[in-house]
């Protein structure tokens, strides 16, 4: 149990608020801290029983952040930055959750957070220019602003497989793993999916289970994380340079300082190219590989060189040539599905009790009472783990019944894909903001950097409205159309559209196929947002 769970249950619900914040992840917590400091009456709601968002739910074995801990942390308070001690290069889920709880304690956020409460609907009143927000706990809140800090990977997705409810053994989703963990000792375990959650958990599960069968629909590119404990002087050195380092991160492309590439992968010799990839591979940092050359995310031939480098590594590590070949990705360029960082993933396939089932050859036809049936065979299991991903970026927003001006439903407006201005506001939905929403850098960046940028921008905006006596702010149709077009145009210059990825909405049947995040870079995006604010919120209509 975490500190906030009991304390917050007794709080009386507030009926009138300046700001409703949806989500008690890092974005929601920083929003609350900032809004309260600026004198707003704000409250955070979350369906979970504690803080942490993504890190509250995703408790599967081996869960870690794939951004370095020293980067994946708040920078808004120098004291917090100096006092917190990360222990590993890539923090584990429990350590990140401890950090989230530390933040909530340090800023005494608990009294203004309400847990076990899902926001079910929000309706904009054209006459009062305010939102009526309803919750699963029966609250009805009259709020001037609503900030959706709901997370981008927060709407878990089960696969569309026949018979999913008929399995009589134990089954779990990686995104909702039980707090007490699962004992795999002596168990026959199936894992469906080979995204990051599967790739992180498989080596851990393999350590104790009796038999492990991995059902792979699409092989992924995975790189060794090279995780290790952080050395004392490494932490101290970073703490000395943090202010300048963070500033560089804010202006960088991915929200993490990295050497800026200057050359195309195709203008250097194969030896030099492979030497750079090897450096990235050894460094265990995604930006090291994706940013090794200027054109890896933009030019298929350039991308093929790194794809072949990884495939050669897989063939080198995995002893059985058939399994090795099945693990080699060919159907998408490197980086166009989120690449993974692993700890011993490919080595697992050399263990005698581990087996890969290639669903491209023998697809799953049914989940049965005792296991999984494919086109080739029936297999019995004690445990099935679904590591089958999320309805990303829009799923968690559209779970809320959002009704804007003139009865406009957000679900209808977004039926062909999301439309936003800067990934911050939506035309027809005044006084509603999204944090790291679609059409912002979001999942293509270090989330902490993007969260801080959005929270600062949103809270500055709400303050400016109050100080200048404006009741509402709304993205204009024109500014939104231009931004959406710019987002798509810039997406089209990359290789991302070539993959059936969750970046493209392709993993959810019926979801419109559009490129969801903004790939213009964290630094340039920040500049654009700052410019908009400086020009009196250009592209937004303000009303007194």
Interface residues with ligand NA7 (CB under 6 A) are 153, 159, 161, 174, 192-198, 215, 217-218, 338, 359, 387-389, 502, 507
Count CB neighbours of 319 within 10 A.
Answer: 11
CB of 199 to ligand NA7, least distance (A): 7
Closest-CB residue for ligand NA7? Answer: 195
**Cα–Cα distance, 418 to 395 (Å, whole number):** 11
User: In whole angstroms, how close is the CB of 389 to ligand NA7 at the nearest point?
Assistant: 3
Query: Which residue, 175 or 211, has its beta carbon nearer to ligand NA7?
Result: 175
**Cα–Cα distance measured from residue 397 to residue 48, given in angstroms and rounded to the nearest whole number:** 16
CB nearer to ligand NA7: give 28 or 151: 151
Question: Quick check: 458 and 424 in contact, CB under 8 A?
Answer: yes
SS3 category, 373: strand
Nearer to ligand NA7, 387 or 522 (CB): 387
For the bound state, the minimum distance from the C-beta of residue 155 to ligand NA7, rounded and expressed in Å, comes to 12
> Among 287, 293, 384, which residue's Cα sits nearest to residue 339?
287
Pairwise CA distance, residues 204 & 444, whole Å: 27
Q: Which of 456, 458, 457, 436 is nearest to 447 (CA)?
A: 436
Smallest separation, CB 156 to ligand NA7 (Å): 8
Closer residue to ligand NA7 (CB): 218 or 420? 218
Find the shortest distance in angstroms from Cβ 440 to ligand NA7.
Answer: 16
Minimal distance in Å, beta carbon 176 to ligand NA7? 11
Measured distance CA(503)–CA(499) in Å, rounded = 9
Cα separation of 232 and 422, whole Å? Answer: 40
Nearer to ligand NA7, 146 or 444 (CB): 444
Give the residue with the Cβ less far from ligand NA7, 364 or 458. 364
Residue keyed to tokens 């007490």: 180
Nearest-angstrom CA–CA distance, 359 and 215? 6
Pick 389 or 520: Cβ nearer ligand NA7: 389
- In the complex, least distance from residue 175 CB atom to ligand NA7, rounded to whole angstroms: 6
Comparing C-alpha atoms, which of 494, 517, 506 is closest to residue 152?
517
| Closest to 279 in 3D by CA, of 316, 309, 248 | 309
Q: Is the Cβ of residue 278 or residue 331 nearer to ligand NA7 in the bound state?
A: 331
Instruction: Tell the burial category of 161 from Cβ atoms under 10 Å away from its Cβ (0-12, 13-18, 19+).
Output: middle
CB of 296 to ligand NA7, least distance (A): 18
């Amino acid at each position: 149990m975490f500190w906030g769970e009991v304390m917050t249950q007794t709080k009386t619900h507030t009926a009138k608020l300046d700001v409703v914040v949806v989500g008690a992840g890092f974005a929601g917590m920083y929003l609350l801290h900032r809004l309260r400091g600026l004198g707003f009456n704000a409250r955070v709601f979350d369906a979970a029983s504690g803080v942490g968002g993504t890190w509250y739910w995703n408790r599967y074995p081996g869960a870690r952040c794939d951004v370095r801990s020293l980067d994946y942390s708040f920078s808004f308070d120098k004291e917090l930055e100096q006092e917190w001690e990360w222990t590993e290069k890539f923090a584990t889920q429990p350590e990140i959750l401890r950090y989230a709880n530390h933040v909530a304690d340090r800023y005494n956020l608990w009294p203004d957070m309400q847990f076990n409460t899902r926001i079910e609907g929000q309706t904009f009143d054209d006459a009062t220019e305010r939102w009526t927000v309803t919750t699963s706990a029966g609250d009805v809140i009259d709020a001037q602003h609503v900030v959706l800090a709901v997370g981008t990977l927060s709407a878990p997705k089960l696969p569309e497989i026949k018979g999913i409810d008929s399995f009589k053994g134990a089954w779990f989703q990686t995104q909702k793993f039980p707090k007490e963990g699962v004992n795999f000792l002596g168990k026959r375990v199936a894992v469906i999916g080979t995204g990051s959650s599967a790739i992180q958990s498989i080596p851990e599960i393999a350590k104790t289970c009796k038999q492990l069968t991995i059902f792979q629909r699409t092989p992924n590119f995975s790189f060794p994380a090279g995780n290790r404990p952080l050395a004392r002087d490494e932490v101290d050195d970073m703490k000395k340079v943090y202010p300048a380092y963070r500033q560089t991160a804010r202006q960088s492309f991915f929200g993490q300082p990295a050497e800026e590439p200057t050359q195309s992968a195709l203008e250097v010799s194969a030896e030099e190219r492979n030497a750079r990839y090897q450096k990235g591979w050894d460094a265990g940092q995604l930006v090291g590989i994706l940013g090794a050359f200027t054109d890896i995310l933009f030019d298929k031939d350039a991308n093929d060189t790194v794809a072949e480098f990884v495939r050669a590594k897989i063939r080198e590590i995995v002893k059985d040539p058939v399994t090795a070949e099945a693990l080699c990705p060919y159907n998408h360029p490197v980086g166009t599905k989120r690449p993974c960082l692993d700890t011993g993933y490919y080595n697992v396939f050399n263990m005698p009790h581990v087996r890969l089932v290639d669903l491209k050859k023998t697809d799953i036809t049914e989940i049965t009472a005792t296991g999984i049936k494919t086109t080739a065979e029936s297999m019995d299991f004690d445990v099935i783990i679904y590591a089958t991903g999320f309805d990303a970026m829009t799923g968690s927003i559209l779970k809320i019944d959002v009704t804007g001006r003139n009865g406009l439903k957000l679900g209808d407006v977004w039926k062909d894909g999301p439309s936003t201005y800067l990934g911050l506001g939506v035309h027809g939905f005044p006084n509603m903001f999204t944090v790291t929403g679609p059409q912002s850098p979001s999942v293509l960046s270090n989330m902490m950097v993007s969260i801080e940028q959005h929270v600062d921008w949103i809270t500055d905006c709400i303050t400016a409205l109050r100080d200048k006596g404006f009741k509402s702010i709304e993205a204009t149709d024109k500014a939104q159309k231009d931004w959406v077009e710019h987002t798509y145009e810039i997406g089209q210059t990359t290789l991302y559209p070539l993959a059936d990825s969750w970046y493209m909405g392709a993993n959810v049947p019926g979801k419109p196929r559009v490129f969801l995040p903004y790939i213009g870079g964290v630094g340039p995006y920040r500049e654009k947002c700052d410019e908009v604010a400086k020009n009196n919120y250009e592209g937004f209509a303000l009303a007194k």
